[in-house]
Amino acid sequence: MGLNDLNRTTLLRHERVLLFVFRLLLGGLFLAASVDKVVHPEMFARAVANYRILPEPTVNFFAVVLPWVELVCGLLLLSGQWTRTASLVVSALLAIFLAAVAGSLARGLDIECGCFGTIAGRTVGLKLLLEDSVWLLMSLLLGFRAKDERGWRSLLGIGMPAPIDKESKT
């Protein structure tokens, strides 16, 4: 084993550890973010409506469905199941959150983000944009670099190793 092989092995080991930490952090974040919203959807619906983005008839649907998506993604990430799929869904959610926060800042809205339902009471601002950008970067790295044996690709048979033909072995 040469020096380049050792460096590559060390880098891969560090990458695996980093992705594991990202997975736990993102999973914990989305699980924590979902709980109060699942319990108090009416309060979360008010926070969603404050952004003034969605048509009024869709606010309640969004406020009921989104926390469950966050909950499922958080649990999947924490369990290590469907990691790539869950992290890419999380990435899409974070991109939407970033757009909503940026839009509210551009319009001068002074509102609470609703990130953790009624618990945190954080206002929308540049700090939130920066934090969500870091979370988005982490989720994208996880989505494109993590190993995912149990995900949508395995259901469709995409990228799976070809089955071994036992008859052709001699």
Give me the mean pLDDT over the 161-168 stretch.
Answer: 55
Among 109, 112, 87, which residue's Cα sits nearest to residue 23?
A: 87
Q: Is the pLDDT of residue 170 over 50?
A: no
DSSP string, 138-168: HHHHHHHHS--SSSHHHHHTTTPPPPP-GGG
Give me the mean pLDDT over the 85-114 stretch.
Answer: 95
Average pLDDT estimate for 113-129: 85
DSSP at 1: -
Q: What is the mean pLDDT of the chain?
A: 87
Residue 39: is its pLDDT beyond 60? yes
Mean pLDDT of 68-85: 95
Tell me what the mean pLDDT of segment 138-162 comes to.
Answer: 70
Asked if 87 contacts 20 with a C-beta cutoff of 8 angstroms, the reply is: no
User: In which band, very low, low, confident or very high, does the pLDDT at 101 lie, cut at 50, 70 and 90?
Assistant: very high
pLDDT score recorded for residue 11: 77
What pLDDT was estimated at residue 134?
97
92 has pLDDT over 50? yes
pTM of the model: 0.81
Indicate if the pLDDT at residue 130 is higher than 60: yes
d(CA 103, CA 101): 5
Give me the pLDDT at residue 40, please: 94
